[in-house]
Amino acid sequence: MSCNYADGLSAYDNKGILGAPESFDSDEDVAEKCQELADLIKKSGHVVLHTGAGISTSAGIPDFRGPKGVWTLEEKGEKPDFNVSFDEARPTKTHMAIIALIESGYVQYVISQNIDGLHLKSGLDRKYLSELHGNIYIEQCKKCRRQFVSPTAVETVGQKSLQRACKSSMDSKGRTCRYGILYDNVLDWEHDLPENDLEMGLMHSTVADLNIALGTTLQIVPSGDLPLKNLKRGGKFVICNLQPTKHDKKANLIVSSYVDVVLSKVCKLLGVEIPEYSEAADPTKQSKPMEWTIPTSNVNTFHKKYNKYVKDSKIESKAKKTKYT
């Protein structure tokens, strides 16, 4: 499938600010800010990354609102050039750096607006990932709601029928899923966000010591507002993006440089080696279908941690108010 999946979505006029100019920090400023970011990561116990289309442009997939973005050019009556198809695209330096940061314990969770499947291809485990807008490589059963990895990009977007039977031989209770039909799980404008992905994203964003936005202007809600969820209780918020974002004034640090450059420098400062992409770790390259459903047990387990965090925060807030009255 072409990377311009947006052609398959419903018409929608309110696409936000398009084509804002990009700005670049000097090499000296980038080095200084990357050191500051590395220090923030070291001091944080729970780091969450919020990824947007800007982390995939170096893979040949255009963004939406950049100077040469899909919607920016569409507004001018032009069409973007696509260097690769989804199936040809490979994870970028940023995608592989994220794998390294998670495996080394520096990052705890990733929340993505991207449907390109590059987090999946990089080998990122589902337990570390919320996909708020779907994934072009995922087929979801309309009946049992289980998700499965497709070896190629699916043919449709907008949660349409793929006219294929469910790949599930059994559900979680050992029962066969009968008569289930697979659909793509890429959202159209009018669709609700996937419940478990959104819930996990909201909880992780709230408990985070540090939320980092990578390659996104944060214009789409609710995903664009999630990085702010930790600010009320003293969390930090960092933006790495070339264009101005909706929430620049609320950020503790803004790095204006290519995300590949920023994460390469940060990983080096943290002593983390970035692996190369490997087909052996890519679920789309495996011979047997792989399930991609977020286990309900994962949501319930993190719910307990989240509820404890909220309870402890309320107690701490009440103690502070008592102290100063």
Q: Which amino acid is at 273?
A: E
What is the pLDDT, as a whole number, of residue 130?
Answer: 98
230 Cβ contact partners less than 8 Å away, ≥ 6 residues apart = 205, 206, 207, 208, 209, 210, 211, 236, 237
Whether 161 is in a domain gets the answer no
What is the pLDDT, as a whole number, of residue 19?
Answer: 66
Of the pLDDT bands very low, low, confident and very high (cuts 50, 70, 90), residue 9 is: low
What is the pLDDT, as a whole number, of residue 313?
Answer: 78
Owner of token pair 């890519």: 282
pLDDT at 100 over 80: yes
- Tell me the binding residues: 141, 144, 166, 177
What is the pLDDT, as a whole number, of residue 1?
Answer: 44
Contact 122, 90 (CB under 8 A): no
pLDDT at 2 over 50: no
Of the pLDDT bands very low, low, confident and very high (cuts 50, 70, 90), residue 322 is: very low
The domain in which residue 227 lies consists of: 18-133+191-302
Whether 232 is in a domain gets the answer yes
What is the pLDDT, as a whole number, of residue 62?
Answer: 84
Higher pLDDT, 176 or 112: 112
pLDDT (mean) for 184-203: 93
Token pair of 53 as six digits: 């289309």
| DSSP single-letter state for residue 154 | -
As a whole number of Å, the end-to-end CA separation of the chain is: 63
pLDDT at 29 over 50: yes
Whether 199 is in a domain gets the answer yes
Whether 144 is in a domain gets the answer no
Whether 289 is in a domain gets the answer yes
CA–CA gap between residue 193 and residue 203 (Å, rounded): 15
Instruction: Indicate the average pLDDT of the chain.
Output: 89
| Active site residue ranges | 133
What is the pLDDT, as a whole number, of residue 74?
Answer: 72
pLDDT (mean) for 309-317: 73
CA–CA gap between residue 152 and residue 128 (Å, rounded): 23
pLDDT tens, 120-159? 999 999 999 999 999 999 999 999 999 999 999 999 999 9
- Edge-to-edge strand order for the sheet containing 161-165? 147-149, 138-141, 181-184, 161-165
Whether 33 is in a domain gets the answer yes
- Tell me the binding residues for Zn(2+): 141, 144, 166, 177
CA–CA gap between residue 50 and residue 227 (Å, rounded): 7
What is the pLDDT, as a whole number, of residue 4?
Answer: 55
Residue 106 sits in a domain of what CATH number? 3.40.50.1220
Contact 68, 264 (CB under 8 A): no
Q: How far is CA 219 from the centre of its chain?
A: 14
Percent of the chain with pLDDT over 90: 71
pLDDT (mean) for 23-34: 97
Percent of the chain with pLDDT over 70: 87
pLDDT at 303 over 60: yes
Q: Which residues, in sequence order, are bridge partners of residue 139?
A: 148, 184
What is the pLDDT, as a whole number, of residue 317?
Answer: 57
Whether 174 is in a domain gets the answer no
Of the pLDDT bands very low, low, confident and very high (cuts 50, 70, 90), residue 172 is: low
Whether 124 is in a domain gets the answer yes
Token pair of 151 as six digits: 């070896």
pLDDT tens, 209-253? 999 999 999 998 999 999 999 999 999 999 999 999 999 999 999
Q: Among 78-87, 140-149, 297-306, 313-322, where is mean pLDDT lowest?
A: 313-322
pLDDT tens, 30-55? 999 999 999 999 999 999 999 999 99
Query: How many folded domains does the chain comprise?
Result: 1
Contact 55, 258 (CB under 8 A): no
HSE (CB half, 13 Å, CA atoms) of 219? 16
